[in-house]
Structure 1
Amino acid sequence: MTPRRTGSVLRNLARRGLVARGLLPPSVGLGLRALRVARGGRSWRWLAAALVLIVPLTLFGSIIVMTPAPSIFLGSGFGADCASAATAPDVSQTAQSDIPPDYLQLYKKFGQEIGVQWNVLAAIGKRETDHGRSKLPGVQSGTNYAGAAGPMQFLISTWGGKAKIKINSKFNGYASDGDGDGFGDVYDPADAILGAAKMLKRNGAPDDLRGAIFVYNRATWYVDQVLEIAKGYATNGEIGVPPEADPACDEGYVDSVSSEVVQKILEYALAQRGKPYIWGGTGPDGFDCSGIIYMAYRNAGLSIPRTTFGQWPFGVHVRAGNEKPGDLVFFDSGPNTGPNHPGHVGMVVSKGKMIEARCTRCGPIKVTTYNDRPNIVGFTRPLQNADVLQQLKKALT
């Protein structure tokens, strides 16, 4: 493990409160403080990171590794070995005997690809059509009494207006091409399961599962049934989170950034994960979409506009594909908004991912993907605004 990766893992563990709760030794906390101090110079950073690795893990490593708390290290083991966690055997005997092999492969594939729990996908497939084995109307052809079709029971209107749609045409539904034939076919298991994964992701999964499943079928009893089935499909009886959604597997968002200013911005924003959306909120208990960004920049000593409407014209506009961590991504979303007047904003933390406070019913503040969102207006870079450049210049003098 590299010194940079070591620092990233330990900071993530600290964010989760493990030192304070006595589940990691105090020396880890001391090492983290040493690492922060060491950021000013490259050689000292490497030395501090090495000390952080050697001291706590040499003295306490056997205790930490041998006695992890299952409820805390859910989804990945100590050290955030995300690659091994992704390939770990997590399919229960119940799942192996109940799910057809081709369906199981698709649930696993698209769960990992989109970043949602495969066993929740599978539980929906079970609850809806017994993994495509149901002979009821609307599973193999046509629709049921409610207008739903296919193994994952999409409403045709939600899918894209018709059962089979060419993917390069314009549509606002969840029609997806899971088998690579250029069409989104609601009756094709690969297409339907990929569409279901996207729907769960867009509506709050993997963090707010209850909210995401409720959007899929608006009944609390349905949510309870799906979650119960999902637990039975996992070896440990837990829903868990995909490794890529675990805070300890955050791909080193902070460490991948060379600018100390952007590091401070990201550190503050990422530390707010799990807090609720509060309209008009600027912390500490909760934030709205622009409030978390406003406060993250303040954490770095920079002043930017408070609202989305003010932030949109403030930063220098950046072409899609050239965005960097710390940049803002805007959406045509909400009342009285439009292509030139976006109403929602998130902060880029890595290519394709942002941290956002989305809405009251969208679940807690979290890192989400933005490439699959259809209403992106554009990207801006507040750090290139003339006023911010002056603030940075003053800070250095």
Structure 2
Amino acid sequence: MTAGGMGSGRSRGHLLIVVLALSGLLLVVLVVAPMLLTTFTLPFGGLGFGADCAEAAADREDLSKTARDDIPEDYLKLYKEHGARIGVQWNVLAAIGKRETDHGRSTLPGVRSGTNYAGAAGPMQFLISTWGGKPQIDVRSEKFNGYASDGDGDGIGDVYNPADAILGAAKMLKRNGAPDDLRRAIFAYNHATWYVDQVLEIARRYAASGEVETLPDSNPLCDPSYVNGAPSRLVAKILDYALAQRGKPYRWGGTGPDAFDCSGIVYMAYRHAGLTIPRTTFGQWPFGVRIEPGEEQPGDLVFFNTGPGTRPDSPGHVGLVVAPGKMIEARCTNCGPIKVTTYRDRPALVGFTRPLENPEVKEQVRRLGLA
């Protein structure tokens, strides 16, 4: 064997080692990278608003011919993306944009600079005081009270920027009752019943169905705000499961996966998080620690004196609190699909409990390392 042959052998050996090393590195990247992406795109509180949600919003076939002809493409994209991001109907956002400034096409004072006679500015006509005190706000560092939002990622909440203004409008509607109590939410935007009527009529004309519809079901990526408000990772996991059941039917005795009753969805949401609580409403009511009204938080249960065999000290209906004043519930066969509803104005509300404070659940959390 010549020196050259020996050299070639070492080179081939070295090349083989390099190839194997690179193959191992590639395997690590292929296996670990998705795990890292999952970890860091799903931060505490739940689910980030990413490309999947934006694409889902853009691909939905829910536009009427009126909407396609009337709404500028860039505004339509923003209405749909920010509506999905916050959890409000895109066509209601679009209807407000139409009513206020014809989707930014108006040449009246206050649309592109300054304010109108009432002090409103921008394509969604925010009062400067409601926006945060001035038209442009550095939302990364300045302290402010208002709806100033950064919809384009530049760190500035600019009331004249359509991306920022539409995101701010979505937040305002959400905070005041949307997507469920639209009349209340729109009235908060402009305190006039005729304005509410006009916005809802425009929204109907923009929807392919001719109706102001609820949001697409079972996609928590498109409605992260409830999960993001969870007080812990554990509660976020409970909410994540429950919210993913939206749109499914009520069925007495149902615990999924296709249908649920009121206590069934609560039971399965907790079970999804690794916890065991009683299966029925009658068992769930005495199980959790009682919570004073106004102190309830996401993950707590809210009970009602309704349903067969119910009485004030033994409520027969339960919902899962997802935000202040909001619960997800499987109500009854004729009440429509599982959805997020309001509870503060509902009759026969008995009280709230916190299953996570039950000693048995605390022990489960400790034993399983779920805290």
TM class by shorter chain equals 0.5 to 0.7
Check if 1:207 corresponds to 2:180.
yes
Residues 249-297 of structure 1 deviation map (CA, whole Å, 9 limit, x = unaligned): 94138769xxxxx96582699xxxxxxxxxxxxxxxxxxxxxxxxx968
Amino acid of the structure 2 residue aligned with 1:252:
Q
- Match for 1:230 among 188, 203, 222? 203
Residue of structure 2 in register with 1:166 after alignment: 138
Residue of structure 2 in register with 1:41 after alignment: none
C-alpha spacing 1:89/1:122, structure 2 compared with 1 (3 Å)? same
Residue of structure 2 in register with 1:319 after alignment: none
Q: Normalising to structure 2: TM-score of the pair?
A: 0.53
Shift of 1:114: 1.1
Amino acid of the structure 2 residue aligned with 1:207:
D
Q: Tell whether the 8 Å contact from 1:354 to 1:368 is kept in structure 2 after alignment.
A: no
Q: Normalising to structure 1: TM-score of the pair?
A: 0.50
Residue of structure 1 in register with 2:284 after alignment: 299
Poorly superposed stretches of 4+, deviation over 6 Å = 83-86, 309-312, 387-390
| Equivalent runs, 1:1-397 vs 2, <5 Å | 87-168=59-140, 169-244=142-217, 250-252=243-245, 264=264, 266=266, 299=284, 301-308=286-293, 326-327=299-300, 356=326, 367=340, 382-386=355-359
C-alpha spacing 1:311/1:263, structure 2 compared with 1 (3 Å)? same
C-alpha spacing 1:113/1:310, structure 2 compared with 1 (3 Å)? closer
Shift of 1:90: 1.1
Give aligned-pair identity as a percent.
Answer: 64
Q: Tell whether the 8 Å contact from 1:264 to 1:300 is kept in structure 2 after alignment.
A: no
Amino acid of the structure 2 residue aligned with 1:192:
A
Amino acid of the structure 2 residue aligned with 1:231:
R
In structure 1, distance between residues paired with 2:138 and 2:282: 43
In structure 1, distance between residues paired with 2:97 and 2:294: 41
Shift of 1:88: 3.0
Residues 3-44 of structure 1 deviation map (CA, whole Å, 9 limit, x = unaligned): xxxxxxxxxxxxxxxxxxxxxxxxxxxxxxxxxxxxxxxxxx
Shift of 1:210: 0.7
Paired residue secondary structure (1:119): helix
Residue of structure 2 in register with 1:284 after alignment: none
In structure 1, distance between residues paired with 2:156 and 2:178: 25
In structure 2, distance between residues paired with 1:310 and 1:214: 27
Residues 62-95 of structure 1 deviation map (CA, whole Å, 9 limit, x = unaligned): xxxxxxxxxxxxxxxxxxxxx9898331111111
In structure 2, distance between residues paired with 1:210 and 1:193: 19
> Aligned residues, how many?
230
Instruction: Output the aligned Cα RMSD.
Output: 4.1
Paired residue secondary structure (1:176): coil
In structure 1, distance between residues paired with 2:158 and 2:217: 28
Residue of structure 2 in register with 1:334 after alignment: none
In structure 1, distance between residues paired with 2:117 and 2:256: 53
Paired residue secondary structure (2:287): coil
Q: Tell whether the 8 Å contact from 2:113 to 2:160 is kept in structure 1 after alignment.
A: yes
Amino acid of the structure 1 residue aligned with 2:149:
S
* Rg larger for: 2
Paired residue secondary structure (1:229): helix
C-alpha spacing 1:237/1:181, structure 2 compared with 1 (3 Å)? same
Amino acid of the structure 1 residue aligned with 2:109:
P
C-alpha spacing 1:136/1:356, structure 2 compared with 1 (3 Å)? same
In structure 1, distance between residues paired with 2:118 and 2:210: 33
C-alpha spacing 1:250/1:385, structure 2 compared with 1 (3 Å)? closer
Shift of 1:306: 5.0
Shift of 1:326: 3.6
Paired residue secondary structure (2:157): strand
C-alpha spacing 1:265/1:212, structure 2 compared with 1 (3 Å)? same
Which residues of structure 1 form unaligned runs of 5+?
1-82, 257-261, 270-294, 313-324, 329-345, 358-364, 370-379, 391-397
C-alpha spacing 1:187/1:368, structure 2 compared with 1 (3 Å)? farther
Q: Tell whether the 8 Å contact from 1:297 to 1:303 is kept in structure 2 after alignment.
A: no
Amino acid of the structure 2 residue aligned with 1:302:
F
In structure 2, distance between residues paired with 1:153 and 1:382: 44
